[in-house]
Structure 1
Amino acid sequence: MESYTPLKNYFGKELAVRLAELIKPFYPSFQVSSFVNAVEQNVNELELKARVQRIADELNRNLPLEYSDQLAVLLNIVGPENEYEQGMFTEGYFLMPVANFVERYGLQQFQISMNALYEITKRHTSEYAIRPYLHHYLEDCIKTLTVWSYDSNAHVRRLVSEGTRPRLPWAKRISALGGDPMRNLALLEPLLDDSSSYVRRSVANHLNDLTKDYKQVTIKWIDDKRSIGWDHAPSMVRHALRSLVKSGDQEALAIVKGL
């Protein structure tokens, strides 16, 4: 029987070596040994998120360039797009420090950072990295995400829902966009009958989050959309209302019973 290896251990020396080897062809003066040694010596006592942040810090320290030039180097190492709905973590974990780099160092340059998150999410995920941008550039983010909700790439469409979830797992809770759940719901509407089950599940999870803080608004919106035609309503509504159903909420139970 194989022993369990904590995920945090992935973010250590071996990953540092991999990142350094990827970066070196695009930035020949990258100090591989310095980078790898700094990661190896400083992550052992850290938990997962802190390890990721430490690697992002070392990327910043070892790429002594303007942010836009740093980003250009890092975007050269992201690899091919993930063509599947699975694997965004298992195959793309090596990009977590790159996403964190954009999250923490790119806030002063909205457009190029959002472009970077767009590319990263096709290969890994930007659902955590986008959240500070929602805080600092809410209106610009909403405009961008509205466009992305129609993107041809399912990972990008999923980011519209997952990145704005109020109770995204592993992330700090956020309120509805601008304090108005209707703004969240407007972003989700084009995704209700998305061709990807991966996207639809994110939407249902997002709706479930909203029911916990904005129950009446969310239930009414769900019921309105169901009444005017929603191909995937039965499965999505059940998943979206699961917390309310579990608590015995009569309105939710009535909606689910009528599916």
Structure 2
Amino acid sequence: MFNREFYVNFAHTFGHVDKNFHVDAFIDDVTRDMDTLSLNGRLRNTSLVLKRHLPEDYKRAIAILYAAAPSLPTGYTALVLPDYVALYGKQHFDLSMEALQYFTTLGSAEFAIREFLKTDLIKTLDVMHKWADDSNVHVRRLASEGSRPRLPWSFKLAEIIKQPTLTQGILEKLNADEALYVRKSVANHLNDHAKDNASYMLNLVNSWDKTNKHTSWIIKHAIRSLIKRGDKDALKIFGFEHETSVKLHSLTTDKTSLQLGDSLHFNFGLGSESKQAQKLVVDYAIHYVKASGSRTKKVYKLKEVTLAPGQTLQFNKKQQFQDLTTRKHYAGAHLLEILVNGKVMGCIEFELRA
């Protein structure tokens, strides 16, 4: 994304809005060691080089960023704009907050805002509470995403982990948001809380209106990790049974040995041994072999069902084994488990060959 073509267009955009911006000098400067830098390294380097080519005065520099922004590509490369604010705007709080509110609509300011949370948590959260009422979906999403306790690719917000109520007002304003983009963020924010403050999170969502379809969607996604672990209080929120009377029938796989790129097909039945209907979450887990030879467990959602008294349901699933950016596979004995409401009902081993 941050290649020479991008920087040529980027520089000419700034040259168009600021006659004192030296286009060729900027291009030479920003691309000099480009090949040695990672994606995020190039993003940060762009901000650092911009500082050398924009006016020293922060207010004048921000005015140029505002003028250039509408002509720049949106998406990940637009994170340069809030990154500049995070690096150089801490002494100009109000101006920087206004800039992040605008620049987040072009990419996202979720990482930049955390630098201000780290410097002055309460003052920044006060602004973010107001953003939760904003008419722009990107700004509302920033209120939730930027204040997540454990945002991926960023540092933890230890004070919010210690005192989760600090972001409660933001989440309650957004707990029925019509935008899926916002709802996903709220659910992930709550799921972060579940890792450190599960009781607090469950009490909070249990007080919300679950009859609202948007709120219900958020809660289900927020408690997904606890459901997979069979947490009694999480299961109770949507009426899933903690103690089940279910028997696993005939767990089979189409092969006991496969190669990278193959798919594993597996089948099983679940039979009721209860005189009452049972509301179940059926999942499966793969215990993947790590580089060290040990195994790590990954739980996948399969289906939510209501099992009638005496009923047996059949399940069929295909799992592909292919290297991804988020997972590299290693040869060895893997394990497949079937889970019902977080409890292991049975397992079967299979081999992944080199």
**TM bucket normalised to smaller:** 0.7 to 0.9
State the match for 1:63 in structure 2: 54
Q: Paired residue for 1:202, among 185, 198, 203?
A: 185
Deviations 1:24-48 (A, max 9, x none): 1221121111111112112211111
1:12 is displaced (CA, Å) by 2.9
Which residue of the other structure, out of 102, 106, 116, is the alignment partner of 1:119?
102
1:100 offset after TM fit, Å?
1.0
What are the Cα deviations for residues 104-153 of structure 1, in whole angstroms up to 9, with x where unaligned? 11111111111110000111110010001011122221221121111111
Question: What's the offset of the Cα at 1:94?
Answer: 3.0
- Residue among 223, 226, 232 paired with 1:244: 226
Is 2:25 the partner of 1:19? no
Q: Aligned partners of 2:229 and 2:166: how far apart in 1?
A: 26
Q: d(CA) in 2 for partners of 1:133 and 1:51?
A: 22
Query: Does structure 2 conserve the Cα–Cα contact (< 8 Å) formed by 1:11 and 1:51?
Result: yes
Task: Pick closer, same or farther for the CA change 1:128–1:111 going to 2, 3 Å.
Answer: same
Q: Which runs of 5+ in 2 are unaligned?
A: 241-278, 280-354
Amino acid at match of 1:20: A
C-alpha displacement of 1:255: 1.6
Instruction: State the TM-score, normalizing by the size of structure 2.
Output: 0.64
Alignment root-mean-square deviation, CA: 2.0
2 CA distance for matches of 1:256 and 1:127?
31
Give the 5 Å matches for 1:145-184.
145-177=128-160, 179-184=162-167
Aligned to 1:143: 126
Residue of structure 1 in register with 2:35 after alignment: 44
Taking the aligned partners of 1:80 and 1:157, their CA distance within structure 2 comes to: 24
Report the structure, 1 or 2, having the larger helix content. Answer: 1
1:73-88 equivalences in 2 (<5 Å)? 73-79=64-70
For residue 230 of structure 1, report the CA deviation from its aligned partner.
4.2
Cα distance in 2 between the residues matched to 1:99 and 1:189: 26
Aligned partner of 1:188 in structure 2 is 171
Instruction: Report the CA distance shift for 1:178/1:243 in structure 2 as closer, same or farther (over 3 A).
Output: closer
- Structure number with higher strand proportion: 2
How far apart in 1 are the matches of 2:193 and 2:113?
A: 19
Checking the alignment, whether the CA contact within 8 Å between 2:178 and 2:214 is kept in structure 1 is: no
| 1:130 match: secondary structure | helix
What is the TM-score with the length of structure 1 in the denominator? 0.87
* Unaligned stretches of 5+ residues in structure 1: 1-9, 82-89
- Paired residue type of 2:206: D
Which protein is bigger by CA-based radius of gyration? 2
User: What letter is aligned with 1:235?
Assistant: W
Take 1:202 and 1:117, find their aligned partners in 2: how far apart are those partners?
18
TM-aligned CA deviation for residue 231 of structure 1? 4.1
Q: Distance in 2 between matches of 1:94 and 1:186?
A: 31
